Amino acid sequence: PDLDRIYQSAVQMMGVHGGWPLTAFLTPDGEPFYGGTYYPPEDRHGLPSFTRVLLSVSRAWREDRDEVRKAVGQFLEALGHLNRFQASSGEPSAAVVDAAVRALSRSVDPVDGGFGRAPKFPHASVLELLLRIGARGDAFALDMAVLTLRRMAEGGIYDQVGGGFHRYSVDARWLVPHFEKMLYDNAQLIGVYVHAHQATGEAFFGRIARETVGYVLREMQHPEGGFYSTQDADSEGEEGKYFVWTKEEIFRVLGEDLGELCSRAFGVSEAGNFEHGKNILHVVSTPEQLAKRLDKSPEEIGMLLGQVKCKLFGARDKRVKPGRDEKILTAWNGLMISVCAAAGAALGHEAALEAAVRAAEFIERHLTKDGRLLRTWTAGEAKLNGYLDDYAFLTAALLDLYEATLEDRFLRRAEALHRVTLEQFWDEAEGGFFFTAKDHERLVARMKSAYDEAIPSGAAVGTMNLLRFASLTGEEAYRRMADRVFGSLLRAMEQSPSGFGHLLLALDFATRGPVEVVLVGPREAPAMRAMREVVHRRHLPNRVLAHVDPGAPAGPLAGPLVEGKRAVDGQVTAYVCRHFTCSAPVTDPEAFRALLEQEALQGRGGRPPAT
């Protein structure tokens, strides 16, 4: 990944659109001076052959070495400038987030959801941002997020039989996907659907989150707990073959009655909607619509559709499955651990929470050495030093596991990784995070991570970690570090909000301030479980959760958030705070729920000035 960032950037500076395969010509010291992407074996369509390119580059290296060296100097200087964003004269504020949401809302497809034209990608971070602003009363932002999530879940980009999301849709209606399934896509979308369920109360979104978790646990988890990377698009040399159906296959598996119901529900026809008369299942009639037409209850239709999916899944399971990339990446596992913890806590999905714990333990056993992370594990071998994404995502995941379980071991591990992140990746001179560690092998450039790509920006997640730890510990230096990140990237966020979804989420946290919840009492007490459910079942953006057990040895937390927090009359007690100023303690779950409801309605923003 470190080499990819350097040489993709260098080739793009040469006026070539980056991508794979990448062709880069380097000096013996690894400095780039010429490159491109694919070169055909023979001159074709205006592209020179690879042989012609090799001869030209060889001649330039032999005969024009000074010009090559000059080009090298220019590219290295330009690579250095990529790390220097133009600072804004403005102050980070909630207005920046609001303006970004307005700009993003203008690009939403009002019919099918999503952003822009085909091909359509999910853009999970932008959907998270719309949900968050929607939770504060922006009905349009909420409607656009809900529309997109519903259309995606009803489309062919979602596996209607086995759960889980394919990579992207080649059309604007989310119908025909590229059938590859990526761990990071499904991780981010599980999180968004969990939050949509919390924000709207609609069971539909919770079901999609559960089904997607089910796919991941069934198909993408190593027996020891780590999560695999990808599932291929093709099987037997044909893209989508595992996932698509002819009408004849549908009726052979289901019989006449269920086959007819399946056809009405999922748009099955003789002609099909894909290649060779095959059908990509997608929702064309909801259970409620079918119930009206067939004079049955929605519950009965739902039960019958469950039978349809079960039978189709059993038949499909006998097919040749797509290949699977079984490498286990620390960063991508961090994403999945976070959302499995969230699904476990918010949906009462115990298997998801257990999977998150097992994956975290897998990484500690197999991808941690002397307190440092390794990048990748395959077939018993772990290798490559961890990058910023690995540290930032796993730190966030461990914080999420702490909030879901209240187990101090996860908070201690998160704190340790956070300290390493700051020691190894923080840029003391100009602020922000480098992608490689301070003690990483020396390369021709040390790049910074800023934009969201297919996965969140490591810098954005690292910045959110700074803010979460500032709230948990009261450490003001963390907040000042986050402000340095915002200051350097504010102009970029204003100009290109879609590339900074996660950093905008962090800016929202910083400018509006977190909701701080402290639960006091034994972790395993039934009353504590009831209080935890109250916290986790509602959508409360920017929430920070801390736990104090008066009867246990001192935990890892100290500072203003937990100071003086005691159990009232020996009962499990909850405090709701803003900027470390807290409500009166409550011991009744209903009173606690009312407090959180009041907090959500008020949506108080702003923060005290830094000291």
What does the pLDDT read at residue 604? 42
Look up residue 420 and give its two tokens.
């390493």
Q: Cβ(194)–Cβ(345) under 8 Å? A: no
Q: How far is the first Cα of the chain from the last one, in angstroms, to the nearest whole number?
A: 39
Residue 231, H or E segment: strand 230-231
Residue 605's pLDDT is 41
CATH topology of domain 513-611: Glutaredoxin (3.40.30)
CA distance 410 to 406: 8
Per residue in 194-209, is it b (16+ CB within 10 Å) or e — as a string?
bbbbbbbeeebbbbbb
Instruction: Report residue 106 as tokens.
Output: 């203008």
| Predicted pLDDT of residue 579 | 85
| Cα(496)–Cα(120) distance, integer angstroms | 18
- Report the C-alpha gap between 34 and 75 in whole angstroms: 10
**What is the SS3 assignment for 108?**
strand
Q: Which two tokens stand for residue 476?
A: 């003001």
Cβ 166 vs Cβ 230: under 8 Å: no
Cα separation, 399 vs 465, whole angstroms: 9
d(CA 568, CA 561): 17
Structure tokens at 15: 């006026």
Tokens 């071991």: give the residue. 409
Tell how strand 515-520 and strand 573-578 pair up: antiparallel
Judging by beta carbons within 10 Å of its beta carbon (0-12, 13-18, 19+), is residue 329 exposed, middle or buried? buried
Peptide bond preceding 21 in cis form (omega within 30 of 0): yes
How far apart are the C-alpha atoms of 101 and 296, rounded to whole Å? 42
Backbone angles phi, psi at 227, to 5 degrees: -105, 135
Strand (E) positions, 453-610?
515-520, 543-548, 573-578, 581-582
Residue 424: phi, psi to the nearest 5? -100, -25
Residue 19 sits at the vertex; the CA angle it makes with 14 and 25, to the nearest 5 degrees, is 50
pLDDT tens profile 286-296: 999 999 999 99
Radius of gyration (C-alpha) of the chain in whole angstroms: 26
Rounded distance between C-alpha atoms, residue 409 and residue 345, angstroms: 18
Quickly tell me which residue has 């007690």 as its tokens: 573
Q: Which token pair is 395?
A: 């730190």
CATH tag for 2-82 (out of 3.40.30.10, 3.30.1130.10, 3.40.50.300, 3.40.250.10)? 3.40.30.10
What was the pLDDT predicted at 79? Answer: 77
**The token pair that represents 580 in the structure block:** 């470390």
CB 164 within 8 A of CB 215: yes
Could you report the average pLDDT of every consecutive run of 10 residues in the chain (611 residues)? Answer: 81 77 88 85 86 90 86 80 66 90 91 94 95 91 97 98 98 98 99 97 97 98 98 96 98 98 98 96 97 95 97 98 98 99 98 99 98 97 97 99 98 98 95 93 81 95 98 96 94 91 96 95 96 95 95 84 94 94 94 90 48 35
Give the alpha-carbon dihedral of 166, 172, 173, 174, to 10 degrees: 0
In the chain, CATH 3.40.30.10 covers 2-82
Which tokens in the block code for residue 165? 């999301």
547-555, long-range: CB within 8 Å, 24+ apart, which pairs?
547/406, 547/408, 547/518, 547/519, 547/520, 547/523, 548/518, 548/519, 548/520, 549/520, 549/521, 549/522, 549/523, 550/520, 550/521, 551/522, 552/522, 555/408, 555/411
